[in-house]
Structure 1
Amino acid sequence: MFRLNLNIALRNLWRNRGITSINIGGLAIALAAFILIIMYVGFESSFDQSNPNYRNIYAVGRIYPDFKTIYTPPPLAKAIQLNLPEVELAGIIKQSSFEMVLKNGKHSIITKNFLQLDYSAARILDVRPVGGLEKPAGANDRLNYLGMADMKTLFPDKRDNKPEIVGAGSSTSGITAKINGAIINDRHSHITFDAISVANELGQGENYGYNNYSTYILVKPGTDINHLEQKISALYRAELSKGETDRKTIEEIKQVSTFLDPLAHLHLRPKAGNDTPYKILIALSGLGILMLVIACINFTNMSIAQASRRAKEVGVKKVMGAYRSQLTLQFLTEIFVQCFVATILALIIAELVLPAFNNLFAIKLTIWDLENQLVWQLPVVLCLITVIAGIYPALVLSGFKPAVVLKGNFSASKHSSWLRDSLLVIQFGIAIIFIIGLFTINSQLKYMRNQDLGFTASQVVYIKSNTIFTKPETFQPVRERILKIPGLRSATVATSIPDGSENGSNGYTYRGTQANIDFVDVDFDYFETLDIKLKEGRLFSPAFKTDTANAAVINESAVARFNIKNPVGQTLRGCDRDYKIVGVVKDFKSQGFENAIQPTIYAIRNPCGNPKIEILLKIEQSKMAAVLAILKEKWPEINPKDGEDFRYEFLDELYGRLFKKQEQLQSVFFATALLAIFIATSGLFAFAKYVTNGRIKEIAVRKILGATDLQILKMINRSFLVMVVLANLIAWPIAYILVSKWLETFVYRIDLPVAPFVFSALITTILSVLTVSFQAGKAVKASPVDALKYE
């Protein structure tokens, strides 16, 4: 029976190969898009799952009345380990701000992501050097490991895992470092590194004022996490209150709490961080599902539209004794064959598109992998789409009454027309949502690219340095050497650059009002180099000797945070120092458009600050190449500690990376919108062909009675236009809600424009008229005699 059903299925598919090609082609394209998206979603949502304690690991963060942060002080981990029995292990990690150049003879590498962690954190995060994780012997000892690829680059002939000595920094520095072995660093984890250093203990001598570590804990299975959060908060407050007698400070400490963030959330949706990647992943998942829905609707619609061609076949089979269940199985077999062929084509298309997809998202996905979840996902999807796209058409076709269809009356009935029209409306509605989403994303990205950032990133070069320039007198001779190069306008150094990275934060007080605000340690010419506008007062200047001691410049958000009237000349206290405000600069978007501008204080000397190593140079555009060539040549003289290791990046390119996730979404939306329109239009084309063929005799009669070609085209287009208008009316409110939710992820965003909704209506209307008119044109131009000669 199966073989007979299969033969009948293949014969029918070949007889209607035009419609079959549209069905299979549309479904294959949608499936290929779906395959790529589910592979990406699976990749992004499975970070850290290889960790055996995946479900019992949490990051500890701090909550203040005005902000939340994942950074914690180093003593907190030890206090948690000692006082809370629910916690098996507690450890800390710290990201290094330096890029270290390591050398072995002629071979050299640059460690751009150097991670320090204590032994407990290494165990919690399942860090595994080749040969196994060892505990450092002494209290102050460290074990240093390099990534596998870098280790091979430095020691291409190495065959063992014995320690090696490498040079660090410039070739003339004389500094060496011991590399204890190699480590696998291409793990599927939110913790990334190309070199790590494992210590018995980190942060020795640093108190609760040094909030630049990340704390991880491993809890016992079954632990009440909410209760544990409360206990850690109480412990943290108790630690902060030790020796504190000031009532106001004690009251402020009571407002501080902690939170626990599961390891499963840290990559996509951290509690103290940006959850845009998670929202984009949800959006991509929705796109993949909608693409599949459109294809299934197209498939179902075409199957129903062809029902009349199979009516007599069904009637004859039923008269000869065929049961409805047998006919349903036969039609499902036909649909399964089409879905199976579409799946094979989808795999081929996905494989062809995969390199471009990997390049877009900077990942390395592969379809042909035994560990790939597609092994079980694709058969499930194949069965689902067979049932979803085929069960109703199969029931409709198998349910025809022999007495009706054998009399030839079926073609005149309205059987299933309501569902057919509804599905076409839904199909176009989804395509309209894609079009509106695409236009809205384009508008927001255009706004982000053209909006005034408050600073100028173009023509600014960021030089990577290993030299610490905390004191202005240390950087002054370097600045003088740099500025001797023709074409260099200004040079400065700071603890951080406006590339979207988080600044440090600390508590500052103004007239009894205490708040945690960001701090950035800078040097002279920082604001001039970045063209940051001065609102009132002045900027730092060597003419004022007190500027290197206790002067500060704050931004507009800091003025608003403390509600300072006439800020110039007022005093802010922080880091056990009184800062005199000498100027106020206008707010600028250093952290992109998704995060609000933070209240920030800028100072030349800050005892709580990070080392100043980020060199920024303003260079004339016409002399950029020449200046960079000279800098590379003379860098050993300009900055001897870095020597020949001259490394730079353009600030505008660094800042542009903040748009990367949205640009990825834009690219995917563009592709899916085109595919949705293509599938919807191809379905409309096939459907228009069916409708037109069914009205050939009617068209012939109307032409004989004097109807013009234009009148007939209007008649045929009218019903389709009604469905397109209805699709727009249904899709608009849904699209409005979805794009509004997406825009809410940006602090600085456009007002939702009307243009995308208007364009969606125009595009779908024009496509509908062109598609239907092209198909109907053949019937309109045909001679009435050919259609009526047998009547």
Structure 2
Amino acid sequence: MFKLNLKIALRNLWRNRGITAINVGGLAIALAAFVLVAMYFSYETSYDQTNPNYSNIYVVGRIEPDFKTNYTSPPLAKAIKQNFPEVENAGITKLNRSWELAIKHGKNAIFTKNILQADYNAAKILNINPIGGLLKPSGEVERLSYLSVENIQTLFPGKRDNKPEMVSYGSTNSGITGIIAGAIVNNVHSNFSFDGVSIGNEIGKGESYGYNNYNTYIQVKPGTDVANLEEKITNLYRAELLKGETDQKAIAEIKSVSTFLDPLANQHLRPKAGNDTPYKILVALSVLGVLILIIACINFTNLSIAQATKRAKEVGIKKVMGAYRLQLTVQFLTEIFIQCLIATVVALVFAESALPYFNNLFQVKLAIWHAGNGLFWQLPLVLCLITVVAGIYPALVLSGFKPALVLKGNFSTSKQSSWLRNGLLVFQFSIAVIFIIGLIMINSQLKYMRSEDLGFSPNQVIFVKNIADFNKPEKFEPLRNKMLNIPGVKSATVATDVPDGSESGSNSYSFEGQQKSLDFVDVDFDYFETLNIKLKEGRFFSKTFTADTANAAVINESAAAKYGMKNPVGKIIRGCGIDYKIVGIAQDFKAQGFESAIQPTIYSIKNPCGNAKTQVMLKIEEAKMTDALAALKSQWPKINVLDGEDFRYEFLDELYGKLFKKQEQLQSVFFAAALLTIFIAILGLFAFAKYITNGRIKEIAVRKILGASNVQIFKLINSSFLVMVLVANIISGPIAYILIKLWLDTFAYRISLSALPFIVSALITILLTLITVSIQANKAVKANPVDALKYE
């Protein structure tokens, strides 16, 4: 019986190969998209799962009155381990991203930017295992340094052992050397991706609770009440901060501080203190993948039901001959399974072809054909699922025909299943409309982000990668003069941060009795001039005022608003043990991009609690850019001895442009999704219109004989489809509005919703429907009525 059903299935598929190609092609394209999305979802949600302690590791963060952060101070980890027996281990890490370090061996050199410092306990918690095993450093001073396998091979080509090696740091004339203890595999599928690791028994020694520059990790015992532990750590942290404190305002402020525990599983996609945009994009991408597959299944179902009349007599005869409905259902499901199986094979070919572009877009290295890929068990399940979802109803419809009706020829005039067929078509176009509206809105938001005034100018500014610190203006002044002597260099400055979206440090500052937290950026002269930041009130730092290097500060508009300042220039704001005199108000500028609101920020030249000033920025005339860069490269060994021959730079506008990366990814995804959904919907509409038109050939012939014009017939055929498309637009409009509003709400600075995208999407779908249906109707309209009626 199975052999007979298989033969019948193959014969029917071949006889209707046009519809079969549409079914298989649409389903294959949708499945290919689904395969890529499923692989990406699995990759993104499995970060650090190779860690055996994965489910018991937490980040300890702190909550201040006006911000939340993962940065804590070194003593906290030790205090937690000593006071709470449910904590098996506690350690701290610090990741350097502020400068690139040149490491050299002979003529070979690498430039490391992500050097992870970790104490021995943190290395154990995070499963950081160098090749040969994790060794405990001897004593308090020793640091065991490891480089990634790739960097080791670059420095020591052909190296086969794991013995320690001597290297030099910085320029060849720096004289700074060190020992690399061995190699370590850099797990890029981890939140702790690095160029190298430095492990010590203890790091941050001597730094008090005021130095919040580290990340604290704890490993708890299975079954620990995490909420209770979180509360106990908060009480411990407050108690540590209150030791020796007598000032009542400070005591009240400390009592408002708390801590939180964030699972390691949250860190990649949705940390409690951080941006959850990657998670939202992953969810959006996953929903798109599922919707595209659903649309393809709907297409499949619709076309199968549309062909019902062609199989009606076959079913009627088989039932008269004694076939049971179950047998017929199995037969039709077999046909559908064969189509789905072919579609799955074709989908894998499509997915493999598209994978390089997908990997490049999302900066990942996914592969279909590897042993650990979950697709090998997921795809068979998906295949069975889509066979059932797309095929069960058509199979039941086809197997349920009544022999007496279909053999008398009455089925063709029946309205059976038309409501479902039309409803599925409306659903298809509703999804397509949502994607079109979404694409238009994403394009508009990105256009707005690229064209909106940032409040500063990154154009013609280069960021020089430098490892020397210039905390004192007199140390940077000789370098500034040498750089300004190069033709084309208009200004030069150095700071702790560049406006590239990265977070600044924060500290508590008091103004007229108000204690609030402000971001701080430590700068040098010409910082605001180099970035073309506008002055709202007062002045910027100037060499003519000697006190500017001691206790002058510039604040931005947001900081003034936070304190409710009126005429703040000349007034005092205190922080980090210094009474700063406010000399100017800078206009707000979007240093963190468009997703985050401009942070209240204070700028100063001297800050005992600040970071090292290593970020050198130069403003260069556009016409002289090439010559100036060449001169800087050739003269850099004399300009900055510590960097020597290692002159490296980035254009600040390109660096800032990386903040748009996630939204550009979303734009590309929506563009592809919109094309796919429209394509699949049009494929279904094309085949469906062909079926409907062929079924009305005699009606059209009669109308033409009775005097109907071609335009009237076109209008007749198109009208029902246009109604369905209009209904789809009406249904999808509110849904698209809600989804787009939720997306736009993730931006602090965004466009406003307008009716234009909804109108454009309606016009696009109506136009495509008219073209698709009219192409099919054209043959019937131009046919000779005699050919359709000569057998009647």
TM-score category, normalised to shorter length: over 0.9
Query: What SS does the corresponding residue of 1:531 show, helix, strand or coil?
Result: coil
Q: What is aligned with 1:83? A: 83
CA distance in 2 between counterparts of 1:422 and 1:581 reads 67
Q: What is aligned with 1:262? A: 263
1:590 is matched by which residue type in structure 2?
A
Q: CA shift at 1:752, angstroms?
A: 1.2
Q: CA shift at 1:511, angstroms?
A: 1.3
Q: How does 1:5-404 map to 2 (within 5 A)?
A: 5-96=5-96, 97-404=98-405
Q: What is aligned with 2:459? A: 458
CA-to-aligned-CA distance 1:28-86 (integer Å, 9 cap, x gap): 00000111111111111110100001000000111011110110011111111111111
Q: What is aligned with 2:704? A: 703
CA distance in 1 between counterparts of 2:588 and 2:340 reads 56
Q: CA shift at 1:754, angstroms?
A: 1.5
CA distance in 2 between counterparts of 1:74 and 1:256 reads 17
Q: What is aligned with 1:670? A: 671
Q: CA shift at 1:134, angstroms?
A: 0.5
CA distance in 2 between counterparts of 1:15 and 1:59 reads 63
CA distance in 1 between counterparts of 2:39 and 2:415 reads 43
CA-to-aligned-CA distance 1:201-227 (integer Å, 9 cap, x gap): 011111011011010000010001111
Q: What is aligned with 1:522? A: 523
Q: How does 1:649-660 map to 2 (within 5 A)?
A: 649-660=650-661
**Is 1:713 paired with 2:691?**
no
Q: How does 1:417-432 map to 2 (within 5 A)?
A: 417-432=418-433
Q: What is aligned with 1:631? A: 632
Which blocks of at least 5 consecutive residues in structure 1 are unaligned?
A: none
Decide whether the 8 Å contact of 1:87 with 1:220 is kept in 2: yes
Greater displacement, 495-504 / 93-102: 93-102
Q: What is aligned with 1:760? A: 761
Q: CA shift at 1:253, angstroms?
A: 0.7
CA distance in 2 between counterparts of 1:485 and 1:367 reads 53
CA distance in 1 between counterparts of 2:740 and 2:164 reads 55
2:249 is matched by which residue type in structure 1?
K
Q: CA shift at 1:176, angstroms?
A: 0.1
CA-to-aligned-CA distance 1:729-772 (integer Å, 9 cap, x gap): 00111111111111111111111122110111000000011111
Q: What is aligned with 1:744? A: 745
CA distance in 2 between counterparts of 1:457 and 1:287 reads 35
Q: CA shift at 1:192, angstroms?
A: 1.3
- TM-score scaled by length of structure 2: 0.99
CA-to-aligned-CA distance 1:263-289 (integer Å, 9 cap, x gap): 000000010000000000000000000
Q: How does 1:479-498 map to 2 (within 5 A)?
A: 479-498=480-499
Q: CA shift at 1:186, angstroms?
A: 3.2
Q: CA shift at 1:562, angstroms?
A: 1.0
CA distance in 2 between counterparts of 1:668 and 1:674 reads 10
CA distance in 2 between counterparts of 1:406 and 1:635 reads 92
Q: CA shift at 1:157, angstroms?
A: 2.9
CA-to-aligned-CA distance 1:489-539 (integer Å, 9 cap, x gap): 000000010000000000111111111110000000000000000000000
Q: CA shift at 1:156, angstroms?
A: 1.1
CA-to-aligned-CA distance 1:417-444 (integer Å, 9 cap, x gap): 0000000000010100110000010000
- TM-score scaled by length of structure 1: 1.00
Q: CA shift at 1:248, angstroms?
A: 1.6
Q: What is aligned with 1:475? A: 476
Q: CA shift at 1:187, angstroms?
A: 3.7
Q: CA shift at 1:98, angstroms?
A: 2.9
1:601 is matched by which residue type in structure 2?
I
CA distance in 1 between counterparts of 2:552 and 2:81 reads 41
CA distance in 1 between counterparts of 2:431 and 2:40 reads 22
CA distance in 2 between counterparts of 1:122 and 1:282 reads 32
Decide whether the 8 Å contact of 1:569 with 1:582 is kept in 2: yes
CA distance in 2 between counterparts of 1:163 and 1:154 reads 13
1:75 is matched by which residue type in structure 2?
P
Decide whether the 8 Å contact of 1:98 with 1:114 is kept in 2: no
Decide whether the 8 Å contact of 1:440 with 1:753 is kept in 2: no
Query: What SS does the corresponding residue of 2:525 show, helix, strand or coil?
Result: coil
1:68 is matched by which residue type in structure 2?
K
* Structural RMSD (CA): 0.6
Decide whether the 8 Å contact of 1:94 with 1:213 is kept in 2: yes
Q: CA shift at 1:141, angstroms?
A: 0.9
CA distance in 1 between counterparts of 2:517 and 2:209 reads 15
Moved over 6 A (4+): none
CA-to-aligned-CA distance 1:629-663 (integer Å, 9 cap, x gap): 10000000111111001110111111100100110
Q: How does 1:674-689 map to 2 (within 5 A)?
A: 674-689=675-690
Decide whether the 8 Å contact of 1:95 with 1:113 is kept in 2: yes
Q: What is aligned with 1:563? A: 564
Q: How does 1:768-787 map to 2 (within 5 A)?
A: 768-787=769-788
Q: What is aligned with 1:443? A: 444
1:82 is matched by which residue type in structure 2?
Q
2:528 is matched by which residue type in structure 1?
F
CA distance in 2 between counterparts of 1:730 and 1:711 reads 28
Give the number of aligned pairs. 791
Q: CA shift at 1:140, angstroms?
A: 1.3
CA distance in 1 between counterparts of 2:193 and 2:230 reads 27
Q: What is aligned with 1:412? A: 413
Query: What SS does the corresponding residue of 1:771 show, helix, strand or coil?
Result: helix
Query: What SS does the corresponding residue of 2:547 show, helix, strand or coil?
Result: helix
Decide whether the 8 Å contact of 1:60 with 1:217 is kept in 2: yes
CA distance in 1 between counterparts of 2:474 and 2:681 reads 68
Which blocks of at least 5 consecutive residues in structure 2 are unaligned?
A: none
CA distance in 1 between counterparts of 2:249 and 2:638 reads 53
CA distance in 2 between counterparts of 1:91 and 1:516 reads 27
Query: What SS does the corresponding residue of 2:618 show, helix, strand or coil?
Result: strand
1:546 is matched by which residue type in structure 2?
A
Greater displacement, 97-106 / 631-640: 97-106
CA-to-aligned-CA distance 1:659-684 (integer Å, 9 cap, x gap): 00110110011011001101101100
Query: What SS does the corresponding residue of 1:549 show, helix, strand or coil?
Result: helix
